[in-house]
Structure 1
Amino acid sequence: MGASSRERRRHPAPDSDHRSTMTTTVITPERAGSLAGLFRERVEASPHKVAYRQFDAARGSWTRSTWAEMACEVGRWQMALKREGLEPGDRVAMMLRNCREWITFDQAALGLGLVTVPLYTDDRPDNVAYIVEQAGVKLLLLEDRTQWQRLLPVRDRLQTVTTIVSLRGFDDDSVPGDPRLTAAADWLFGLEGDLVTRLEEPDSLATIVYTSGTTGRPKGVMLSHRALLFNAHAASRCAPLGGEDVFLSFLPLSHTLERTAGCFLPMVVGAEVVFARSIPQLAEDLRVVQPTVLVSVPRIYESVYAKIQAGLKQKSALARLLFRTTVDAGWARFEHIQQRAGWSPRLLLWPLLGRLVAHKVLERLGGRLEYAVCGGAPLPPSIARFFIGLGLPVYHGYGLTEASPVVTVNRPDENLPASIGKPLPGVEIRIGEQDELLTRSPSVMLGYWRDDEATAATIDPDGWLHTGDKARIDAQGFVFITGRIKDIIVLGNGEKVPPADMEMSIQLDPLFDQVLVIGEGRAFLSALVVLDAAAWREYARELDVNPDGDDDLRSRFVERSLLARVQAQLKDFPGYARIRRLTALREPWTIDDGLLTPTLKMKRERILARHRDDVERMYADYAES
């Protein structure tokens, strides 16, 4: 992002003199041939360069692994997998947090021609059982005994699994016996072996990734070696990435965005990946690791934004004015660099304001971020403007699991934050019926596992993948998502309302942690809102009500006060997009209670079923008033 970004690239991260700052060779799909071939080529090209870094809790320090060391470990795991008698094409699953062993198991399996099935560590047991059954998984790798204890109620459904390996081992006193259980230390004991890279056809199946559907059962997306290789390499061509870059990995590797952009992409360019300890420790990890690349979803940026805004409320009026002036000056500078605006006197303020204000915020993010990529869901333009105005290069993109997953992304020299960018090199897009965004490329999935009907409904005879998202393309080629074909509320008067856009806008107020807009077939819109606990306590004091009292929470006085804040967030929406009633809740919707998918999408039908009485009360009360 301008000269300052390029200057930062000349300086290695602290405590990183162990790795070269020279840009490494980019490995092409043709050279790699397969995902296992990509790993072998990287090992041969950069054997002594650090590949991964993770925190060792026992030592209290970060440990590093070179590509050569990773190859030795992969060969060892391959010996253990071969001893299981698995055949090419057999499915094996991993249910681990992001760590070195996730990569080791994935590469060991891929090198033997096995098909990997990633599972979310916090997914519900019945969902895990369904995936294992449907995919016919033969070996399951778990994190620890706690995961096995969670799966105990569904273990009778894991009929296809012959071996269950625990990375951290089992405690015999607390885990019921099962002949399939083994600790990784025992499973791997005494094994050594050279790296095996089975020659795979590029279009052979590499992995089955189950989409976290918001309705019905998840579908298994079949992704080939070619699809993932093509996508990772095409993404690498969108920005000057290389061996000096450091990726901070915290989105689950079971999410295809993280797997492609946070695993295979760094492998393509030879960058280092550091595994974050946890989401609660992310702020500290950012400061310590000082990454140059961060791949995230909007919720993380929204959280940081909300915390900064809450902090500003405690500052003086002068401090708030200085902050707003900094963001305005930074945004003017960005628009000038992007050649969308001429020179402005505000640009003269940036050098001083950047040092006094913006620098302090960026230091909290490590101080070296050059690519803050946002995907998985739309990033509100106001938040993008906020961070870009502070000098953080935010790049909004778009994708879906069925496309491996990246379809479009903004670039350093072509960044229009309100858009989802332009297609990756080699990726075709067009607008179909009902303004649906269609895409076609080698990244498109082979189909849905054992579901020909769903496959035919998603990929047409000409190879176009139907995304289900409405879009438009402007004269410069930038793509804008305008809504979902199915996720539309049709009010009783025929007006069509995109609930996701409204929910996102309401959540910009830090008081509202989760929001579900309701109104299908009704006379007006209402909402269920989950309040942020800390923000609600503070606001309750302002209203002089008991923050723990259900009667106060459901009172008309509190509801009207909350509605006023909601309407303030919706001021730019059409008049019919008005929330007339709401129900405030204190208990958040979670994955464990089945109301969120593992990727934190709301399961609308289940939430509505859970709160059916609240919904009916809102409409009945309004009709009577």
Structure 2
Amino acid sequence: MPTTIDTTFLDTMPPNVAVQFFDRVTATPDAEAFRFPRGEAWESVTWKQAGDKVEALAAGLIALGVQPEQRVGIASGTRYEWILADLAIMCAAGATTTVYPTTNAEDTVYILGDSESRVVFAEDDEQLAKLVAHRAELPHVSKVVTFEGKADGDWVISLDDLAAMGAQKLAEQPDIVRTTSASIAPDQLATLIYTSGTTGRPKGVRLRHSSWVYEGEAIRAQGILSETDLEFRWLPMAHSFGKVLMSTQMACGFAAAIDGRVDKIVDNLGVVKPTFMGAAPRIFEKAHGRIVTMQAAEGGAKEKLFKAAFATGLEVERLKREGKAVPIGLKVKHGLFDKLVFSKVRDRFGGRVRFFISGAAALNRDIAEWFGAAGITILEGYGLTETSAGSFVNHPDRNKFGTVGPVFPGSEVKLGDNDEVMIKGPGVMDGYHNLPEETSRTLTSDGWLHTGDKGALDEDGHLVITGRIKELFKTSGGKYIAPPAIESKFKAVCPYASQFMVFGEDRNYCVALVTLDPDAMTGWAEANGMSGASYTEIVQSEAVHAMVAGYVDELNSHLNRWETIKKWKLLDHDLSVESGELTPSMKVKRNVVQVNHQALIDEMYA
């Protein structure tokens, strides 16, 4: 039976994010709040220090004339200053508009214009250049505040300039920020997040203060995290997954180490030694692939030991899940493998991880079980930008592979037509900004959100996502295909895979476009006599083609006959955000890929 969690927290939640933040500052002023890189070292600040800085910046925004619910943009990667800016905006009663640093100038200007942002925080000269070049198209923007770019002292000022304006405002009106914070209604607009959109223009999702407060309090109520935890946060703060971790941090009081540089994740984990981290599945796929290929390159006895260890680990975990006793001989063997193999895998992630939280896309079950065998728990969760990120998450003590866990306490789930997952609760958005027709198509009159995902609920109330309704297609033989399920299976069997995209709507068989991970292929090239060759040369070689063919054959052995991949093509480049084929949250824009490579797909049916 589903476990019931006390929902009395709904009656005692802070009224808004600003009060939630200042309550945390008051509760644990001297505890560590954030740490962040400064050169090669890490600097740390307490909740009190962060609170003082946020209050000064919020007062600066009020001095600039920011009014309740007026939008203030942030165009920046994930860093400590992003968090200061976001909290300052909400403490000044404004509403944050998020812009990914990888967003091109055209879309950046569209987002800031559509949101009518009055002030914009810009990370550096690269972000400033987008704004300066299009200043005439941004009539609402009265001031730009840069974290580390070149200020002109007029339209563009520095973060320190804003803090100085705030200090002057606080000298005149010491209670201005606290009074403003206390006056924010729960249903006031806190954030506009523009969905990266796999089709068309991005849509601004309107999220209330009460939604973010609820998200953090709902996770705290489930007892998953506490003040003693340490998070490593690299996820884009422009994405709802990053934002929900901030809300959770304020509710629970743990410290967070902040560094958005994706290429530094592994190094940072070794230094920070966190107890948990949120990530998209691609991070786990890459880590899995890297470890497996490194062991394969070692070969011989070491590779045999590695494979034997994981076979044992998977068997032990299976017995535990089924509630069966682990035989003493297997237990002893597992203990030995834990010392020799699994402890070294855990050390790659800092050695202290209690669990990872996976979201933003579906995680392959085989990869989750592989990490579990090594003693690393991955809790899969589910939500949308339209639900303030989290709506479901597995619990460490009842983690069910293949599910995204039970619905958050205080929220409801049901299955609609065609088994569409529908969600209702405090996290659900107000609607899309300036798009009433889109809003009415997505939100029912009684508050249920159409997710567009197909799902099922098991006997414990855990949700299983079976596919994106729009991504399901039917072959000419009448069989339904769920591409994401096939695609994630390939990534589990092929440690070199980056992307695997399945097509076949109204055709008599399925085909795939394949890209390989550039980092993994550099290692492969060194081990196979192609050191120094370009990515294109490597993936066009006969040896790589034969290798991929073997993995496709292995994939097909795990599929139903009608799902099998009859033909496939290797692309000469990996997909990227810059090429427009990935969203900033690393989701494939399937329609863009299909349009870009339609001739190649058609060739496979010729």
Q: Distance in 1 between matches of 2:224 and 2:519?
A: 42
- Give the partner amino acid of 1:607: V
Task: Supply the AA of the counterpart residue of 1:530.
Answer: T
Match of 1:96 in 2: 76
Q: Is the 8 A contact 1:327 1:390 kept in 2?
A: yes
Mapping for residues 151-550 of structure 1, pairs under 5 Å: 151=131, 154-170=134-150, 180-189=155-164, 191-192=166-167, 193=170, 194=174, 195-196=177-178, 197-260=181-244, 262-276=245-259, 278-338=261-321, 340-345=323-328, 346-508=330-492, 509-533=494-518, 535-536=520-521, 538=524
In 2, Cα distance between the equivalents of 1:121 and 1:278? 12
Deviation at 1:568, TM superposition (A): 1.5
% identity of equivalent residues: 29
Q: Which amino acid aligns with 1:362?
A: R
Partners of 1:549 and 1:287 in 2: CA distance: 29
Q: 1:67 aligns with which of 47, 53, 63?
A: 47
Residue 86 of structure 2 corresponds to residue 119 of structure 1: no
CA contact (8 A) 1:397 1:408 kept: yes
Would you say 1:616 and 2:602 are equivalent positions? yes
1:139 aligns with 2:119: yes
SS at match of 1:32: coil
Quote how far apart the aligned CAs of 1:588 are: 2.0
2:569 counterpart of 1:583: yes
Taking a change above 3 Å as real, the CA distance of residues 170 and 282 of structure 1, as seen in their structure-2 partners, is: same
Structure 2 contact 412–423 (Cα < 8 Å) conserved: yes
**SS at structure 2 position matched to 1:486:** helix
- Give the match's secondary structure for 2:391: strand
Q: Which amino acid counterpart does residue 287 of structure 2 have in structure 1?
A: V
Q: What is the alpha-carbon distance in structure 2 between the residues aligned to residue 94 and residue 546 of structure 1? A: 40
- For residue 572 of structure 1, what is the amino acid of its counterpart? H
Superposition deviation, residue 277 in structure 1: 5.6
Amino acid at match of 2:102: D
Matched-pair contact (CA < 8 Å) for 2:111–2:194: yes
Q: After the TM superposition, which of the residue ranges 303-312 and 233-242 deviates more from structure 2?
A: 233-242
Provide TM-score, normalisation by structure 2.
0.90
C-alpha distance in structure 1 between counterparts of 2:232 and 2:241, whole Å: 13
Confirm or deny: 8 A CA contact 2:77 2:260 kept in the other structure: no
* Separation in 2, partners of 1:553, 1:365: 30
Code of the residue aligned with 2:303 in structure 1: it is R
Query: Any idea what SS the aligned residue of 2:118 has?
Result: strand
Query: 1:127–1:570: structure 2 CA closer, same or farther, 3 Å change rule?
Result: farther
Determine the C-alpha separation between the residues in 1 that align with 2:109 and 2:477. 43
The letter of the residue matching 2:291 is I
Letter in 1 for 2:298: K
- Structure 1 unaligned blocks of 5 or more: 1-25, 173-177, 621-625
- 1:310 match: secondary structure: helix
Contact 2:536–2:573 under 8 Å retained in 1: no
Secondary structure of the equivalent of 2:83?
helix
Name stretches of at least 5 consecutive residues in structure 2 with no aligned partner: 1-7
Cα distance change, pair 205–146 in 1 and its aligned pair in 2 (3 A): same
Give the counterpart letter for 2:234 in structure 1.
F
Q: Deviation at 1:103?
A: 1.8
User: Is contact 2:58-2:166 (8 Å) kept?
Assistant: no
SS in 2 for 1:247: strand
- Which residue, 109, 118, 135 being the options, matches 1:129? 109
Which range is displaced more, 157-166 or 187-196? 187-196
Partner in structure 2 of residue 38 of structure 1: 20
Of 534-543 and 565-574, deviating more is 534-543
Partner secondary structure for residue 467 of structure 2: strand
TM-score by length of 1: 0.88
Native 8 Å contact 2:421 2:451 kept in 1: yes
- 1:131, CA displacement in angstroms? 1.0
User: What residue in structure 2 maps to residue 623 of structure 1?
Assistant: none
SS in 2 for 1:248: strand
TM-superposed deviation, 1:591: 1.5
Offset of residue 171 of structure 1 = 6.9
Match of 1:463, SS state, is coil
Offset from partner CA, 1:450-498 (integer Å, 9 cap, x none): 1111111111122211111111111222221111111113223322211
Shift of 1:534: 5.5
Contact 1:91 1:137 in 2 (8 A): yes
CA RMSD of aligned residues (A): 2.7
- Structure 2 vs 1, CA of residues 246 and 549 (structure 1 numbering), >3 Å: closer, same or farther? closer
Letter in 2 for 1:589: L
Alpha-carbon shift at residue 306 of structure 1 (Å): 0.3
Q: Could you tell me how far apart the structure 2 residues matched to 1:291 and 1:232 are?
A: 19
Q: CA deviation at 1:212?
A: 1.3
SS at match of 2:36: strand
Give the CA deviation at 1:543.
Answer: 11
Residues 267 and 551 from structure 1, CA distance in 2 versus in 1: closer, same or farther, beyond 3 angstroms? Answer: closer
- Is the CA contact (8 Å cut-off) linking 1:169 and 1:182 kept in structure 2? no
Look up the equivalent residue of 1:280 and give its one-letter code: D
Superposition deviation, residue 281 in structure 1: 1.4
Which one is further off, 137-146 or 309-318? 309-318
Q: Is the 8 A contact 1:27 1:42 kept in 2?
A: no
Residues 248 and 488 (structure 1 numbering): CA distance in 2 closer, same or farther, change over 3 Å?
A: same
Q: Compared with structure 1, are the counterparts of its residues 62 and 534 closer, same or farther at alpha carbon in structure 2 (3 Å cutoff)?
A: closer
